[in-house]
Structure 1
Amino acid sequence: MRMDFSLLFFPSQEPQYRPDRYQLLIEAARFADKQGLRAIWIPERHFHEFGGSYPNPSVIAAALATATHRVRLRAGSVVLPLHHPVRVAEEWSVVDNLSNGRVDLAIARGWNPNDFVLAPDNYAPRTDVTVTGIDVLRRLWRGEAVRYRNGTGEETEVRLAPLPRQGELPLWLTCTGGEAMFARAGELGANVLTGLLFQSVEELARKVACYRAAREAAGFDPDSGHVTLMVHTFLGADEASALATARDPFRSYLESSVGLWGQKEARFHEQSPRERDVMLTLAVNRYARTAALFGTPESVTGTVSAFREAGVNEIACLIDFGIDPDTVLAGLRPLRRLMEQVNPPGARATAQG
């Protein structure tokens, strides 16, 4: 089975204006477009230096639509309970028109209460709101009408204008927790976007098996579900120097992400500075060894094989975690070689969705 490769962006950056904030994104997207990578993933994140440069992925995708020709433009992810689903459908239909049908969406239910200042009533029921919103998105994308109250309180029908280029909207569900969300993705007939920050490869394999079983139980082809794994990536000509280049920026990046850790965040801040340092060192070493692609194309092929054995169909390479942008761009050339090494001629691609 072919392993797809794509690029995913989720930087930690100070909020002050900087003229080059999106330069790496644009240059990397052009590389991906020319070199046959599958997609560019753009996050949604609010009010924080960790990811906050990307509060609206549709705006970024619209810009990339005019700078690229082949690469897929994907939200990774739209936090659907923060928005009216009709508005999400409208924005991404425009991007689908601009890109001639290259839009895919991953949908997330959200986790950070502060993000929900945009829709505070949706925080508690966010899972149900997400599932309902996905149904509305799909119906609108197909050209169907949906009914909502208008300004005078009357029920009225609305349809998309403009209609998208694609007749069906390719959807992923972002799954970062237990098996329940993986099963929900299978029941919905959606693809999966996940990562390894809070799970091992062995745990992921069990969850992917649960996902495919849920697809089959819901009447979908279990093998056609597409599992995308977010993986921090930096490749170079020499394994030791590539790891040395990535280690300190990744450590700083991981520390800036503590707000994502949930209960682990509180435990982290309860530790002494020395204990936090040890905890971060252990986390960086474990992650670099088993959950990242830091090295050369040859040295990471075993890790890619482990991901494939776990049921992964695509590696979304997270490349903007603090390394100098010129160095990151240089590291994309070995990534092209890795793609060729792990995908022999004639390798079959996974049907998505």
Structure 2
Amino acid sequence: MEFGILFTSHPNPAEEPYPHRAVHARTTDEVIEAERLGYDTAWIAEHHFATSYGIMPDCFAYMAYLAAKTSRIKIGAAVITLPLYDPIRVVENTSFVDILSDGRVRLGVGSGYRPYEFEGLGRDFDNRRDIVEESIGLMFDAWHRHRWDHKGKYYKGTVKEPYEMLPHPVQMPHPPLYMAGGTDRSIGYSGRNGFGLMLSTLPSVETLAAQTALYKRELATASAERRKNPAAGEIDIARWVYIADTDAQARAETEEAIVRHISHFGGSGTGGYLGSVSEKGAAIKYDDLASTLLHGSAETVIACLREMQARTGMTSLLLHYPPYYGREKTMKSIRLFAERVIPAFRPPARRAAAE
């Protein structure tokens, strides 16, 4: 199993007061520490306009910056909100950052779930899934054929000889591509088109097992071209993670902050896949989150993670955490996870290489 960390560039007002510029230096420090500790991927989440959520308007600019700050860790977008982009610019920018990082880029795409982001950029929220599906076809044309003649409902454009899509990425025909899913439509589409699947922090293990089963069935129907995606068949599941010496200590150090943070997803600012799959209702309590959290001692978390892996076939865990624990506790938790949990899921040779 691989292990990545999902960074939302979400400010902690107690340490990063408004207008929260300091969040980016802190997030960068966490990425650099993740590389040192042997994590596989640093995943960057795009978000716009919120004063109480993530501040990351341009994943490509930040991934290029991180490429120069790191040497081994893979750098992924998890995810860019595809309806807010021109799909050809996504292809160009992904390929360019793949070159700058010497082939370390991973790209996750999604339809988006925060209406205010679409309103702020003047984009169509209601038809976002249709827009994604048209975008994907155009992106595959650009990566596989380097030319296109597209006249669709949402996009049009032509590139013919002697012109072509440049630059070509290091990872051919394209970097690993993932799709965030939370509905049967998006999960089925992801499988049929050979994407790796990214699943939310919020659903129960039972829901995740049903979602991954659907994905695997649909993946079996993907065309040979779509299965050239290096991420085809990969299942990345995000989970809230916190490691302490005991389960009681983990609860004491996180209860107020994690409940406050997860309650945010049931608010009016979210809709669509994240806003509709929390299964927790509005009045969330810590005890309601047993199927969502990987909090506790290393032994507790290893056992829960093994069960999740067996039931879902997951190939990667994306560690996630709110900013409200504070810098010291956050850094301690990701260090303890690397030291006490990751070795249980890696063969000895790979553990030695990471160390």
Q: TM-score, normalised on structure 2?
A: 0.82
Asked if 1 retains the 8 angstrom alpha-carbon contact of 2:98 and 2:175, the reply is no
Residue 272 of structure 1 is matched in structure 2 by: none
Give the Cα separation in 2 of the matches to 1:259 and 1:7.
Answer: 27
Instruction: Kindly provide the CA deviation profile for residues 75-113 of structure 1, in whole angstroms up to 9, marking residues without a partner as x.
Output: 101111111011212222221121111111111012333
Alignment partner of 2:165 out of 130, 152, 160: 160
Residue 192 of structure 1 is matched in structure 2 by: 197
Computed over aligned residues only, the root mean square deviation of the Cα atoms, in angstroms, reads 2.9
Give the Cα separation in 2 of the matches to 1:227 and 1:19.
Answer: 33
Deviation at 1:154, TM superposition (A): 9.0
Q: Structure 1: which 5+ runs fail to align?
A: 267-274, 348-353
Taking a change above 3 Å as real, the CA distance of residues 18 and 44 of structure 1, as seen in their structure-2 partners, is closer
Amino acid aligned to 2:139? L
Give the Cα separation in 1 of the matches to 2:21 and 2:116.
Answer: 28
Taking a change above 3 Å as real, the CA distance of residues 260 and 226 of structure 1, as seen in their structure-2 partners, is farther
Give the Cα separation in 2 of the matches to 1:146 and 1:195.
Answer: 34
Residue 205 of structure 1 is matched in structure 2 by: 209
Give the Cα separation in 1 of the matches to 2:123 and 2:334.
Answer: 43
Residue 246 of structure 1 is matched in structure 2 by: 254
Residue 214 of structure 1 is matched in structure 2 by: 218
Deviation at 1:125, TM superposition (A): 2.8
Q: Which moved more, 1:107-116 or 1:80-89?
A: 107-116
Deviation at 1:304, TM superposition (A): 0.2
Give the Cα separation in 2 of the matches to 1:319 and 1:24.
Answer: 14
Alignment partner of 2:178 out of 142, 158, 172: 172
Deviation at 1:325, TM superposition (A): 1.1
Q: Structure 2: which 5+ runs fail to align?
A: 351-355
Asked if 1 retains the 8 angstrom alpha-carbon contact of 2:193 and 2:223, the reply is no
Amino acid aligned to 1:49? T
Residue 291 of structure 2 is matched in structure 1 by: 290
Deviation at 1:237, TM superposition (A): 2.4
Asked if 2 retains the 8 angstrom alpha-carbon contact of 1:43 and 1:51, the reply is no
Give the Cα separation in 2 of the matches to 1:191 and 1:235.
Answer: 27
Asked if 2 retains the 8 angstrom alpha-carbon contact of 1:253 and 1:321, the reply is no
Amino acid aligned to 2:187? F
Instruction: Kindly provide the CA deviation profile for residues 239-265 of structure 1, in whole angstroms up to 9, marking residues without a partner as x.
Output: 221221111111221233324554998
Residue 6 of structure 1 is matched in structure 2 by: 4
Give the Cα separation in 1 of the matches to 2:198 and 2:67.
Answer: 22
| Secondary structure of 1:189's aligned partner | coil
Within 5 Å, give how 1:1-353 maps onto structure 2.
3-13=1-11, 16-117=18-119, 120=122, 122-142=124-144, 144-147=146-149, 156-157=159-160, 159-167=164-172, 168-176=174-182, 178-197=183-202, 199-219=203-223, 225-257=233-265, 258-259=267-268, 262=271, 279-281=283-285, 284-287=286-289, 289-309=290-310, 310-336=312-338, 337-345=340-348
| Secondary structure of 2:220's aligned partner | helix
Amino acid aligned to 2:85? H
Give the Cα separation in 1 of the matches to 2:250 and 2:25.
Answer: 22
Q: Which moved more, 1:117-126 or 1:18-27?
A: 117-126
Deviation at 1:137, TM superposition (A): 2.2
Give the Cα separation in 2 of the matches to 1:170 and 1:318.
Answer: 21
Give the Cα separation in 2 of the matches to 1:210 and 1:203.
Answer: 11
Deviation at 1:155, TM superposition (A): 5.1
Asked if 1 retains the 8 angstrom alpha-carbon contact of 2:103 and 2:170, the reply is yes
Give the Cα separation in 2 of the matches to 1:170 and 1:290.
Answer: 29
Asked if 2 retains the 8 angstrom alpha-carbon contact of 1:107 and 1:173, the reply is yes
| Secondary structure of 1:78's aligned partner | strand
Q: TM-score, normalised on structure 1?
A: 0.83
Taking a change above 3 Å as real, the CA distance of residues 265 and 126 of structure 1, as seen in their structure-2 partners, is closer
Give the Cα separation in 1 of the matches to 2:61 and 2:171.
Answer: 19
- Among the aligned pairs, what percent are the same residue? 22
Amino acid aligned to 1:42? I
Amino acid aligned to 2:175? L
Amino acid aligned to 1:214? E
Residue 350 of structure 1 is matched in structure 2 by: none
| Secondary structure of 1:312's aligned partner | coil
Aligned residue pairs, count: 326
Give the Cα separation in 1 of the matches to 2:194 and 2:98.
Answer: 21
